[in-house]
Amino acid sequence: MLVEMQKKASLSYLPFFATVMTLKMPRISSITALFLLVSTSVLTNLPVFAASAPLDLSDAAIAQRFAVRRQAILAASAAQIKPGNTTTSGGFLDVASALYLGQNREAALARFAVINQPMPNANMFWTYPMATVMVAGGPGFDEPTWQRVKELWRIYWPNRGDTENHWCMYYSSMYLAAQTFEGAGPEQWFNGRSSAENLAEAREYILHWMNIAVTRGQGEYDSPSYIQEYIVPMSMLAGWANDPVLRQRARMMLDYLIYDYAVENIDGFYGGAHSRVYPRQIVAPGNTPIAAISWLLFGFGQETADPANTLLALSGYTPPPILERIARDTTHRPYVERELKRTRWRMRNAEPDSILIGDKRTLPVYKYSYVDREFVLGSSQGGLLQPIQQQTWSLTWRTDKPTATAANTFFAVQPYSSPLEGTMFFGGDWDTVTDLIARSKADYDSPDKLPSGSPFEQVFQHGTALIGLYDLPKGNRFPHITTFFSRDLVNTTEDASGWIFTQGGPVYIAYRPLAPGVWKPNDWTQLLAKDVKGFIGAGFDKWGAGSRCYVSDAQQNGYVVQVAPARDFASFAAFQSAVRALPIKFSTTGKAEVTFTALDGTVLHGRYGSTPTINGKAIDYAHWPLFDSPFAHEKPDSARLEIREGGDRYLLDFKNTRIEETAVPPAQK
């Protein structure tokens, strides 16, 4: 790919701290530029277009626009194969694109030969592009190319990794490679297993993963970064698996993953709580793979190189039009989306209230998002839900700033790092795990980090109001909470009432700390700023500089957040007046406790360690739905997702591996 660079991972004895770095920049090649010139109106809802007419959301129009964007992706990728430069230009997926399109075959094979030397070292980040070239471009191979490919699968032992996304990529690749080398014996494989054995192992895992995901939720849920690593393998299988069941289920999983995103997006930005985000992504939500993918899927933002886009385009997958209508919905917004996910498997230190799925321990993750047409405010319940990169809650708003550098977000975090967390999720040793995590996730053990879960955190939300409560023990490594005030906020004022008012684009924000804090620049240790050549900090001056944080170090602590669309008030001052008038009662003596009456009159009450109440009624976590919104209502273990939008019904039935598209009966609309 033109700008894709992946630093991969593999691992040691221990954690295979997942890593993917995708440097992004708008990719408009000369070919694409020409293409855009002639077809701008169907590629995306650029402002000039959007201002002139509503976007046509008919099935035909959606399909037509997607087809055009898909071709643009393929053309741009294939264009990286340059007959005059096979030494430096083009990656595996570009080779696949060129061969798939039948252009510059000799140069593509020459480039492929170059990048197949010397030995690979990227593990599953090698297996997936290699397998993709084999299935998408294999018909264009010559015999020497096949011989080298076979040799590599025999002599290079790619590691499987240790995350859900690693395994999905690894086993999807193994499946397709084994399918391609049908009948190959164990001597032809690095792992001494025959093609039939590798195929069976891969199939078994993939189906297992799908079943867990559609019944109890993903462990790496709703990540604006790692959704890429699920779209990639599912695209591969949807495009090329010979097994009709696997192929169909992969397509259904793509629908499922994309719905899961679409229902919480705002203009392509993935709103709400996330399992995994990098520093560059948590402060600049458009600096994410999903922002790039959303261009191909729905036309949000601008064309940006991304492996998932190339895979989607190569696979032939076309999202059902109902998903774009949901992604662009203005009819049902605002609505509440609730989802059930789970934590990554806990190998030890599992809490007493952990649950078993099969023989693996986990905790449910209760997601709640308020999805407005101007913003998404979404949260999970807090706690240690993921290792390293958790975002417990966030507010993300529409913006007209450049996607990759817009800091259109607001959130808080209790930075936490510990061997308890490290050994909970990784097979490392207590005394080294934190150090080794920070070898790749450099911010993990830094007091100014922004992604983090915390065992001392409890968050709940109702509508546009959110409350965070904290109980920090003495001796905690980072004894403070940090609230991120982005550089995109305006009119920030510390009100005498104790509220801090600010505005993010079309959203008014009120933040009430329960204990005083101090203002610090974000990245106050300058860890990211100084990491100019590092994986974590590169480009910080563009995407990260210039924001600040409100840092409070009280042990019993918390905050109340109340947001509102600016359209609901005559002025910012009117919003402030309304918030000042809201009843609020709190205590930080003993366990932090808050009772707050929100703008809509709802009374939220929480005491750290107890189940929060809404209007006096305890939040019913026990019956939390797998999905619940105007578009879908599913219980855990249903293994299905019935999506309804307008008059359309789209059913993903994983038990029977079928998709059903029907009109909603008039009586049920």
- Our CB check for another protein shows the closer of 170 and 298 to be 170
Using CB under 8 A, pick the residue from 39, 191, 492, 525 that binds another protein.
191
186 binds another protein (CB under 8 A): yes
Count helices and strands in the chain by DSSP H and E runs: 20, 28
- In the block, residue with structure tokens 């000369």: 30
- Among 178, 212, 284, 436, contact with another protein (rule: CB under 8 A): 436
**Binding to another protein by residue 357, rule CB under 8 A?**
no
Q: Does 13 bind another protein (CB under 8 A)?
A: yes
Scanning the structure block, which residue is given the tokens 């061997």?
Answer: 419
For residue 565, give every residue at least 6 positions away whose Cβ sits within 8 Å of its Cβ, in sequence order, or none.
372, 373, 374, 375, 506, 507, 508
Quote the least distance from Cβ 258 to another protein, whole Å.
Answer: 26
Q: Does 225 bind another protein (CB under 8 A)?
A: no
Q: Which of 83, 102, 144, 192 binds another protein (CB under 8 A)?
A: 192
Contact with another protein (CB under 8 A) among 56, 142, 429, 600: 429
Burial class (CB in 10 A: 0-12, 13-18, 19+), 114: middle
Q: Which of 88, 115, 83 is nearest to 98 (CA)?
A: 83
Structure tokens at 85: 């430069």
Residue 38 or 356: the one with the smaller Cβ distance to another protein is 356
Which of 67, 151, 157, 600 binds another protein (CB under 8 A)? It is 157
153 lines the binding site for another protein (CB under 8 A)? no
Closest listed residue to residue 123, CA positions, set 87, 81, 158: 158
Size of the site for another protein (CB under 8 A): 50
- Strand positions, DSSP E, 273-390: 335-342, 355-357, 360-362, 364-371, 375-379
- 531 HSE (CA, 13 A, CB side): 22
**Nearer of residues 62 and 437 to another protein, judged by Cβ:** 437
Give the one residue of 18, 124, 465, 528 binding another protein; rule: CB under 8 A.
18
Residue list 528-587, contact with another protein (CB under 8 A) = 534-536
For another protein, the binding residue among 359, 475, 570, 617 (CB under 8 A) is 359
From 524, 527, 525, select the one nearest 538 (Cα to Cα). 527
Is the CB of 206 or the CB of 465 nearer to another protein? Answer: 206
Least distance between another protein and beta carbon 528 (Å): 13
Nearer to another protein, 201 or 494 (CB): 201
CB of 477 to another protein, least distance (A): 17
Q: Does 185 bind another protein (CB under 8 A)?
A: no
77 makes contact with another protein (CB under 8 A): no
Q: Which of 110, 350, 357, 529 binds another protein (CB under 8 A)?
A: 350
Q: Does 353 bind another protein (CB under 8 A)?
A: no
Six-digit token pair at 292? 């790039």
By CB under 8 A, is residue 335 in contact with another protein? no
* Choice from 59, 201, 243, 568 touching another protein (CB under 8 A): 201
> Residue 15 CB, nearest distance to another protein (Å)?
7
Kindly state whether residue 187 participates in binding another protein, applying the rule CB under 8 A: yes
CB of 5 to another protein, least distance (A): 13
Dist CA 109 CA 349 (whole Å) = 50
Helices within 449-606 (DSSP H only): 527-530, 540-543, 572-580
**Of 358 and 590, which CB lies nearer to another protein in the complex structure?**
358
**How far is 294 from 649, CA to CA, in rounded Å?**
22
* Burial call 527-551: b when 16+ CB within 10 Å, e when fewer: bbbebeeebbbbbbeebbbebbbbb
| Burial class (CB within 10 angstroms; exposed 0-12, middle 13-18, buried 19+) of 463 | buried
Q: Kindly state the smallest distance separating residue 350's Cβ from another protein, in Å.
A: 8
Half-sphere exposure for 244 (CA within 13 Å, toward CB): 3
- Smallest distance, another protein to C-beta of residue 166, A: 11
In angstroms, rounded to a whole number, what is the distance separating the alpha carbons of residues 331 and 328? 9
Q: Closer to another protein by CB, 179 or 379: give it.
A: 179
Q: Give exposure, 28-50, as e/b (b: 16+ Cβ within 10 Å).
A: bbeebeebbeeeeebbbbeeeee
The three-class DSSP label of residue 437 is helix
Distances (CA, A) of 476 to 418, 437, 443, 456: 9, 19, 17, 10
Q: Please list every residue from 382 through 421 that binds another protein, using CB under 8 A.
A: none
Residues of this chain that interact with another protein (CB under 8 A) are: 7-19, 123, 156-157, 159-160, 162, 167, 171, 186-187, 190-193, 201-202, 204-205, 208, 347-350, 359-360, 427, 429-432, 436, 439-440, 442, 534-536
